[in-house]
Structure 1
Amino acid sequence: MTDTLAPIAVRVAPPTDVPLPAAELGLTWRAMAPADVDGVTALMVRGQEADGLPYRTSAAEVAQELEGDWRDVARDTLLGLDDTGTPRAVARVDTSPGDRRVVRAFVEGAVDPAWRGRGIGRALVAWAQARARQVLAASGKELPARIVTFVDDATPDAVRLYRAAGFTPIRYYTHMRRSLDVALPDVPDVDGLRVVPWAPELDDAVRVAHNEVFADHWGSEPRTPEQWARSKAMFAPTWSFVALDDAGEVVGYAVSGRYEEDWPAAGYPSGYTELLGVRRAWRGRRVAVALLTAVMRAYAADGMRYAELEVDTANPSGAHGLYADLGYEVAHSSTMLSIEL
């Protein structure tokens, strides 16, 4: 523990109890259950439609958020139901069990557009922040702590809501896309390296490589095997590739997702590169270019119109410039807001 830090159980000031939002808000509150997946998905989609966002939450993504031994769904989720039993508000707190440098609690929530403007959003943020403090204290990790959320920049009301609750913008992200109608570059040859399709037997080696690659990236923490396995709801194996050296060791990877629910909202089908990384010893040798061009060609072969990805605007590896050189352009953006403890 850093000498200047008070014990985490003191520093995060966890409340003894986390009360439910007031009954006067007009909703009945309880934890989420697997049977709520479709209702919560529909709630999320109603909000995204009202906000004009170019993506839609899928039932598979919502279901995935209820899985994992490190999650306490009964205490870390909150669902608000109207008199008909329809979900009108939801909030969730999550953790990352592999955190080693900063222990984090992630919060998110949504309110049905027809129920906004009644104070429900403020109540959800208050509930989530209180529960996040309990989760951080219970971690027992004597590390700097962070309560964090991500907000699309097209929803300024949500940004104001979190800022009013003490959250501060700390990091900025751009969602970039590249038209696949434009001529694609050839996959460059890199001496001592071959790019191969993802295979199950390579999966854990890719996880280990990812943890190493992102060890020097702000906000990145190691992923445990279970956490890695529980993050594949939208995984597209035929669009994912691995770079191997002559000894068969993983030196780079491009992991893709297939988000078909987004396509009607965006107006086009796309492939999404969720993770891209190259081990330090191989950086500067066009390994990332080889992986991205392989990915783009796979997307195009399946009839996709765009390749998409997201990048931290302060990424230390120069990724933003790499993507721009390959023809990626900014499509929209988001902000990470946090309370640093």
Structure 2
Amino acid sequence: MSTETPTIAPIAERAAPPATLTIPTAGGLTWRAATREDAPTWLALRNLISRADAEPYVETLEEIEEIFEGAWRDMTADSLLGFDADGALVAWAQVDSPPGDVTTVRAFCWGGVHPDRRGEGIGRELLAWGTGRARQMLAASGKDVPGRIGVFAEDDAPASKHRLYERAGFGVRRYYSDLARALTGPYAAPVPDVALTGTLRLVPWSTDLDEATRLAHNDAFRDHWGSQPQTREQWQQRAGFAPEWSFVVVDDAPDVEALLASPDTDPETAAALRAGEPLVVGYQLAARYTEDFEVRGYSFGYTDILGARRAYRGRKTALAALAAGMRAFAAEGMQYAALDVDTANPSGAHGLYASLGYTKTTGSRMYSIEL
């Protein structure tokens, strides 16, 4: 029996990029790339679509403006806005390929059409444009690893959206659950007290621990499906970040020799250890989405990312950081704590969240074309 690892064709071949992209013609719209000046108008359309489709969130101007900050993006090639004869924005698309991808190179397609202009074929042609651009980006990456083109949809999004993706060749690959638990009222369970052992110490997030937290995150999510390392620039894109609600666990006296000898220690962490940098081993980074309070019908603090270094799993570092975040939410009068989780998370997160009183509020899914 052969033990050789199967080889795959170069990504430039598998992606099958089109030489040129076909601009949509449906709806008689005028198309051009998005600019920073479009941000307010773009935001208005995106939130109009969000409300029409009963999505559990809206977006902010900060989030739209942040899109233009990523140096890896070329918005002149990666975005498309469609205007009607009166100059009103009625459709949009954007494609993004995270620069830190290593073992799977990905490109994600985003877009939407004004509810009053649906049924004209605009969305179908816009998705075809986005998929073509995604293929170009993957081919240009030069990363000869598995490739993925992804799109997302809420579970209860209009059926036409799910059909659109399926007819374009996308298949459901992953499901996600949005969870929440009460922090106030008669049904709110107490936030647990979590005692850390040894040289582990819980501290508020701070800028001098941010790089160490990025390294911890890349390690924690290395074995999570669909996750790839984040570069320093990617890590800085965090619209809505609430530092006052964020906490990390550091090991004040790590066994540096053992960590350096471990094959699981990545090169960036090894370099930080040799330099005597702090070692973050667990973290909870939170976000404040005030605009979503009205949509959900309650105020909440959001755990944006939560994790523990793999060598420290079982030592309650993530739980300690999460509990600290929940207390910070409650101290500011938030009614709920919320977060999002992959339904197939390998770290036992579902059991942890259930034990803390989190229950599912909404769900979403990722569709993809695997290359």
TM-score interval, normalised by the smaller of the two chains? over 0.9
Match of 2:161 in 1: 158
The 10-residue stretch of structure 1 (247-256 or 89-98) with the greater mean CA deviation from structure 2: 247-256
Match of 1:256 in 2: 286
**Where does 1:96-111 land on structure 2 (aligned, <5 Å)?**
96-111=98-113
Residue 141 in structure 1 maps to residue 143 in structure 2: yes
Q: Identity, % of aligned pairs? A: 53
SS in 2 for 1:21: coil
Match of 1:319 in 2: 349
Q: Is the 8 A contact 1:99 1:222 kept in 2?
A: yes
Equivalent of residue 186 in structure 1, options 192, 205, 219: 192
| Superposition TM-score, scaled by structure 1 size | 0.97
Distance 2:215 2:86 in 1: 47
Equivalent of residue 113 in structure 1, options 104, 112, 115: 115
Q: Is the 8 A contact 2:191 2:326 kept in 1?
A: no
Q: Is the 8 A contact 2:189 2:357 kept in 1?
A: no
Distance 2:189 2:309 in 1: 28
Residue 197 in structure 1 maps to residue 204 in structure 2: yes
SS in 1 for 2:73: coil
Match of 2:269 in 1: none
Q: Is the 8 A contact 1:184 1:297 kept in 2?
A: no
Distance 2:179 2:192 in 1: 21
Amino acid at match of 2:66: Q
Amino acid at match of 2:368: S
Match of 1:21 in 2: 24
Map Cα deviations across residues 314-340 of structure 1 (whole Å, 9 max, x no partner).
000010110010000000000010000
Deviation at 1:83, TM superposition (A): 2.1
Aligned pair in 2 of structure 1 residues 305, 15: CA closer, same or farther (>3 Å)? same
Match of 2:298 in 1: 268
**Where does 1:1-341 land on structure 2 (aligned, <5 Å)?**
3-22=6-25, 24-155=26-157, 156-181=159-184, 182-192=188-198, 193-229=200-236, 231-247=237-253, 248-341=278-371
Q: How many residues align?
A: 338
Q: Is the 8 A contact 2:203 2:250 kept in 1?
A: yes
Distance 1:30 1:282 in 2: 49
RMSD: 1.1
Map Cα deviations across residues 201-247 of structure 1 (whole Å, 9 max, x no partner).
00011001100111111111000001111x21111000100001223
Distance 2:55 2:174 in 1: 20
Amino acid at match of 1:83: A
**Which of the pair has more CA radius of gyration?**
2
Amino acid at match of 1:88: V
Q: Deviation above 6 Å: which 4+ runs of structure 1? A: none
Q: Is the 8 A contact 1:107 1:128 kept in 2?
A: yes
Deviation at 1:25, TM superposition (A): 1.3
Q: Is the 8 A contact 2:178 2:363 kept in 1?
A: yes
Distance 2:36 2:117 in 1: 24
Distance 2:56 2:151 in 1: 19
Distance 1:226 1:249 in 2: 20
Deviation at 1:132, TM superposition (A): 0.4
Distance 2:313 2:62 in 1: 35
| Superposition TM-score, scaled by structure 2 size | 0.89
Amino acid at match of 1:79: L
Deviation at 1:42, TM superposition (A): 0.6
Deviation at 1:3, TM superposition (A): 4.5
The 10-residue stretch of structure 1 (329-338 or 263-272) with the greater mean CA deviation from structure 2: 263-272
Q: Which runs of no fewer than 5 residues in structure 2 stay unpaired?
A: 254-277
Deviation at 1:285, TM superposition (A): 2.1
